[in-house]
Protein backbone atom coordinates (compact mmCIF):
# COMPACT_ATOMS: atom_id res chain seq x y z
CA UNK A 1 0.00 0.00 0.00
CA UNK A 2 1.45 3.32 -1.11
CA UNK A 3 1.59 6.12 1.44
CA UNK A 4 3.16 9.54 1.46
CA UNK A 5 3.31 11.63 4.61
CA UNK A 6 4.42 15.25 4.79
CA UNK A 7 5.89 16.66 7.97
CA UNK A 8 7.29 19.99 9.00
CA UNK A 9 6.62 23.13 11.03
CA UNK A 10 3.17 24.64 10.83
CA UNK A 11 4.46 28.17 11.39
CA UNK A 12 7.43 29.88 9.78
CA UNK A 13 8.48 33.48 10.28
CA UNK A 14 8.96 35.80 7.30
CA UNK A 15 12.44 35.62 5.72
CA UNK A 16 13.10 32.22 7.32
CA UNK A 17 13.61 28.85 5.63
CA UNK A 18 10.91 26.20 5.28
CA UNK A 19 12.01 22.58 5.66
CA UNK A 20 9.57 19.80 4.86
CA UNK A 21 9.97 16.02 4.74
CA UNK A 22 7.99 13.56 2.65
CA UNK A 23 8.21 10.00 3.98
CA UNK A 24 7.07 7.36 1.52
CA UNK A 25 6.16 3.71 1.84
CA UNK A 26 4.99 1.14 -0.65
CA UNK A 27 7.44 2.14 -3.37
CA UNK A 28 11.11 2.84 -3.85
CA UNK A 29 12.44 6.34 -4.49
CA UNK A 30 14.81 4.84 -7.06
CA UNK A 31 11.86 3.64 -9.09
CA UNK A 32 9.36 6.47 -8.74
CA UNK A 33 9.49 10.25 -8.93
CA UNK A 34 8.24 12.47 -6.11
CA UNK A 35 6.77 15.90 -6.71
CA UNK A 36 6.08 18.80 -4.39
CA UNK A 37 2.86 20.75 -5.05
CA UNK A 38 1.47 23.62 -3.02
CA UNK A 39 -1.90 25.33 -2.73
CA UNK A 40 -2.57 28.73 -1.19
CA UNK A 41 -5.82 28.68 0.77
CA UNK A 42 -8.78 28.86 -1.57
CA UNK A 43 -6.59 28.88 -4.67
CA UNK A 44 -5.29 26.49 -7.27
CA UNK A 45 -2.46 23.99 -7.36
CA UNK A 46 1.13 25.00 -8.09
CA UNK A 47 3.81 22.50 -9.08
CA UNK A 48 6.95 23.32 -7.14
CA UNK A 49 9.46 20.73 -8.26
CA UNK A 50 10.38 17.10 -8.50
CA UNK A 51 12.92 14.54 -7.40
CA UNK A 52 13.10 12.10 -10.25
CA UNK A 53 13.68 8.37 -9.65
CA UNK A 54 17.23 8.74 -11.02
CA UNK A 55 18.08 11.64 -8.69
CA UNK A 56 17.52 14.46 -11.20
CA UNK A 57 15.67 17.52 -9.97
CA UNK A 58 13.57 20.14 -11.72
CA UNK A 59 12.02 23.29 -10.29
CA UNK A 60 9.24 25.77 -10.90
CA UNK A 61 10.82 28.68 -12.74
CA UNK A 62 9.42 31.25 -10.30
CA UNK A 63 10.71 29.38 -7.25
CA UNK A 64 14.01 27.88 -8.41
CA UNK A 65 16.21 30.61 -6.92
CA UNK A 66 15.07 29.76 -3.39
CA UNK A 67 14.01 26.10 -3.63
CA UNK A 68 15.96 22.88 -3.14
CA UNK A 69 14.74 19.28 -3.24
CA UNK A 70 16.86 16.36 -2.07
CA UNK A 71 16.37 12.79 -0.85
CA UNK A 72 17.65 10.04 1.39
CA UNK A 73 16.82 6.77 -0.34
CA UNK A 74 17.86 4.70 2.69
CA UNK A 75 15.17 6.42 4.75
CA UNK A 76 12.59 6.67 1.92
CA UNK A 77 12.45 10.41 2.41
CA UNK A 78 12.36 13.41 0.11
CA UNK A 79 13.13 16.86 1.44
CA UNK A 80 12.04 20.34 0.44
CA UNK A 81 13.87 23.47 1.53
CA UNK A 82 12.73 26.91 0.50
CA UNK A 83 14.32 30.09 1.80
CA UNK A 84 13.25 33.72 2.14
CA UNK A 85 9.64 32.83 2.93
CA UNK A 86 6.98 35.51 2.65
CA UNK A 87 3.31 35.62 3.63
CA UNK A 88 2.18 34.58 0.15
CA UNK A 89 4.02 31.27 0.67
CA UNK A 90 1.28 30.37 3.17
CA UNK A 91 -0.73 27.34 2.11
CA UNK A 92 -0.93 23.57 2.04
CA UNK A 93 2.11 21.69 0.79
CA UNK A 94 1.69 18.25 -0.76
CA UNK A 95 4.12 15.60 -1.84
CA UNK A 96 2.98 13.20 -4.53
CA UNK A 97 4.28 10.04 -6.16
CA UNK A 98 4.21 11.39 -9.70
CA UNK A 99 0.54 12.42 -9.87
CA UNK A 100 -0.64 8.94 -8.95
CA UNK A 101 -0.40 9.04 -5.18
CA UNK A 102 -0.77 12.02 -2.86
CA UNK A 103 -0.09 12.78 0.77
CA UNK A 104 -2.71 14.51 2.90
CA UNK A 105 -0.68 17.72 2.85
CA UNK A 106 0.77 19.92 5.56
CA UNK A 107 -0.48 23.41 6.26
CA UNK A 108 2.27 26.03 6.47
CA UNK A 109 1.60 29.55 7.74
CA UNK A 110 4.14 32.31 7.23
CA UNK A 111 3.60 34.93 9.87
CA UNK A 112 5.50 36.96 12.40
CA UNK B 1 7.04 27.41 -19.38
CA UNK B 2 3.90 25.72 -20.70
CA UNK B 3 0.67 27.57 -19.91
CA UNK B 4 -2.52 25.51 -19.58
CA UNK B 5 -5.77 27.40 -20.06
CA UNK B 6 -8.79 25.67 -18.57
CA UNK B 7 -12.37 26.60 -19.40
CA UNK B 8 -14.85 27.19 -18.01
CA UNK B 9 -13.66 28.29 -14.56
CA UNK B 10 -16.99 27.25 -13.08
CA UNK B 11 -19.51 24.69 -14.24
CA UNK B 12 -23.02 24.26 -12.85
CA UNK B 13 -24.66 20.92 -13.53
CA UNK B 14 -27.63 18.85 -12.47
CA UNK B 15 -27.25 15.23 -11.47
CA UNK B 16 -27.21 13.11 -14.60
CA UNK B 17 -26.14 15.93 -16.89
CA UNK B 18 -23.10 15.44 -19.12
CA UNK B 19 -20.42 18.13 -19.00
CA UNK B 20 -17.07 18.88 -20.61
CA UNK B 21 -13.99 20.80 -19.50
CA UNK B 22 -11.42 22.15 -21.94
CA UNK B 23 -7.67 22.41 -21.38
CA UNK B 24 -5.56 24.20 -23.99
CA UNK B 25 -1.80 24.24 -23.93
CA UNK B 26 0.51 27.01 -25.12
CA UNK B 27 2.62 24.37 -26.88
CA UNK B 28 2.28 20.80 -28.01
CA UNK B 29 2.34 18.24 -25.22
CA UNK B 30 3.54 15.45 -27.51
CA UNK B 31 6.77 14.15 -26.01
CA UNK B 32 9.67 13.04 -28.19
CA UNK B 33 8.98 9.48 -27.01
CA UNK B 34 5.52 9.58 -28.62
CA UNK B 35 3.52 9.92 -25.39
CA UNK B 36 1.39 12.92 -24.44
CA UNK B 37 1.61 13.53 -20.72
CA UNK B 38 -1.66 15.30 -20.04
CA UNK B 39 -3.41 14.32 -16.83
CA UNK B 40 -6.70 15.22 -15.15
CA UNK B 41 -7.10 15.47 -11.38
CA UNK B 42 -10.11 15.99 -9.13
CA UNK B 43 -9.85 17.74 -5.80
CA UNK B 44 -12.86 17.31 -3.56
CA UNK B 45 -13.35 19.85 -0.75
CA UNK B 46 -10.86 19.33 2.06
CA UNK B 47 -9.09 16.50 0.24
CA UNK B 48 -5.83 16.14 -1.65
CA UNK B 49 -6.14 15.85 -5.42
CA UNK B 50 -6.68 12.43 -6.97
CA UNK B 51 -5.66 11.25 -10.41
CA UNK B 52 -8.56 10.54 -12.77
CA UNK B 53 -6.95 10.29 -16.20
CA UNK B 54 -3.37 10.07 -17.44
CA UNK B 55 -1.81 10.04 -20.89
CA UNK B 56 -4.80 12.04 -22.21
CA UNK B 57 -7.36 9.25 -22.11
CA UNK B 58 -6.28 6.41 -19.81
CA UNK B 59 -8.56 5.93 -16.85
CA UNK B 60 -6.81 5.52 -13.50
CA UNK B 61 -7.68 2.30 -11.70
CA UNK B 62 -10.90 2.60 -9.71
CA UNK B 63 -12.16 5.69 -11.54
CA UNK B 64 -15.71 5.32 -12.90
CA UNK B 65 -16.00 5.02 -16.66
CA UNK B 66 -18.36 8.01 -16.85
CA UNK B 67 -15.08 9.97 -16.95
CA UNK B 68 -13.31 10.15 -20.28
CA UNK B 69 -10.46 12.16 -21.73
CA UNK B 70 -9.64 13.05 -25.29
CA UNK B 71 -7.48 15.34 -27.37
CA UNK B 72 -4.04 15.70 -28.83
CA UNK B 73 -1.30 18.26 -29.34
CA UNK B 74 -2.57 21.37 -27.60
CA UNK B 75 -6.30 20.76 -27.12
CA UNK B 76 -7.73 18.39 -24.54
CA UNK B 77 -11.13 17.66 -23.05
CA UNK B 78 -12.43 15.92 -19.96
CA UNK B 79 -16.00 14.68 -20.23
CA UNK B 80 -18.26 13.44 -17.46
CA UNK B 81 -21.16 11.45 -18.88
CA UNK B 82 -23.82 11.75 -16.22
CA UNK B 83 -22.63 13.83 -13.26
CA UNK B 84 -23.07 12.27 -9.84
CA UNK B 85 -23.00 14.06 -6.49
CA UNK B 86 -19.55 12.63 -5.65
CA UNK B 87 -18.10 14.34 -8.75
CA UNK B 88 -18.38 17.80 -7.24
CA UNK B 89 -15.11 19.59 -6.66
CA UNK B 90 -12.35 21.26 -8.66
CA UNK B 91 -10.89 19.65 -11.76
CA UNK B 92 -7.33 20.38 -12.86
CA UNK B 93 -5.42 19.49 -15.97
CA UNK B 94 -1.67 19.15 -15.50
CA UNK B 95 1.07 18.50 -18.02
CA UNK B 96 4.19 16.47 -17.36
CA UNK B 97 5.66 16.52 -20.86
CA UNK B 98 7.79 19.63 -20.43
CA UNK B 99 9.62 20.49 -17.22
CA UNK B 100 8.76 22.52 -15.27
CA UNK B 101 5.36 20.85 -15.10
CA UNK B 102 2.32 23.12 -14.92
CA UNK B 103 -1.33 23.03 -13.82
CA UNK B 104 -4.37 24.63 -15.30
CA UNK B 105 -6.20 27.10 -13.05
CA UNK B 106 -8.98 24.64 -12.31
CA UNK B 107 -12.68 24.22 -13.07
CA UNK B 108 -15.09 24.14 -10.17
CA UNK B 109 -18.02 21.77 -10.73
CA UNK B 110 -21.08 22.78 -8.71
CA UNK B 111 -24.63 21.55 -8.42
CA UNK B 112 -27.20 23.67 -10.19
Model confidence pLDDT, tens digit, residues A30-52: 999 999 999 998 999 999 999 99
Separation between Cα atoms, residue A17 and residue A81, nearest integer Å = 7
pLDDT on residue A72: 97
Q: Does B6 touch chain A (CB under 8 A)?
A: no
Element (H, E) at B53: strand B50-54
Q: ∠B109-B44-B40 over CA atoms, to 5°?
A: 70
- Given B49, B54, B100, which is nearest A60 (Cβ)? B100
Nearest residue of B to residue A59 by CA position? B100
B90 touches chain A (CB under 8 A): yes
pLDDT tens, position by position, A51-99: 999 999 999 999 999 999 999 999 999 999 999 999 999 999 999 999 9
| Spatial distance between the Cα atoms of A75 and A25, rounded to a whole number of angstroms | 10
Position B112 scores a pLDDT of: 87
A105 part of contact set with chain B, CB < 8 Å: yes
**Residue pLDDT tens, chain B, 112 long:** 999 999 999 999 999 999 999 999 999 999 999 999 999 999 999 999 999 999 999 999 999 999 999 999 999 999 999 999 999 999 999 999 999 999 999 999 998 8
Cα distance between residue B35 and residue B85, in whole Å: 33
Contact flag B49-A60 (C-beta cutoff 8 Å): no
How many CB atoms sit inside 10 A of residue A78's CB? 26
Tell me whether B10 touches chain A (CB under 8 Å).
no
**Cβ–Cβ below 8 Å for B100 and A49:** yes
Judge: B99–A58 Cβ closer than 8 Å, yes or no: yes
User: How many residue pairs bridge chain A and chain B with CB atoms within 8 Å of each other?
Assistant: 51
A97 CB neighbours in chain B (<8 A) are none
pLDDT at B110: 97
- CA separation, residue A95 to residues A3, A16, B5, B43, B111 (Å): 10, 21, 24, 15, 30
Q: How far is CA B105 from CA A39, A43, A92, B8, B44, in A?
A: 11, 9, 16, 10, 15
- Measured CA to CA, the distance from residue B88 to residue A37 in angstroms comes to 22
What residues form DSSP beta bridges with A5? A23
The torsion of the CA quartet B95, B98, B99, B101, rounded to 10 degrees, works out to -10
Q: Which residue in A44, A98, A104 is closest to B105 by CB distance?
A: A44
> Counting beta carbons within 10 angstroms of the beta carbon of residue B61, is it exposed (0 to 12), middle (13 to 18) or buried (19 or more)?
exposed
B106–chain A nearest CA distance, Å: 7
Q: Is A94 on the interface with B (CB under 8 A)?
A: yes
Amino acid sequence: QVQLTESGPGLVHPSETLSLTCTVSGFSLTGYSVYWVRQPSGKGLEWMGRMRYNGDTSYNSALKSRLSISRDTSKNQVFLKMNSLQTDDTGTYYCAGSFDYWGQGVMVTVSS
Amino acid sequence: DVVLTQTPPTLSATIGQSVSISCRSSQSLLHSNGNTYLNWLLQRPGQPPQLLIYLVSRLESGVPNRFSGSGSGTDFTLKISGVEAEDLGVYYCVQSTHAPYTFGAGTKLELK
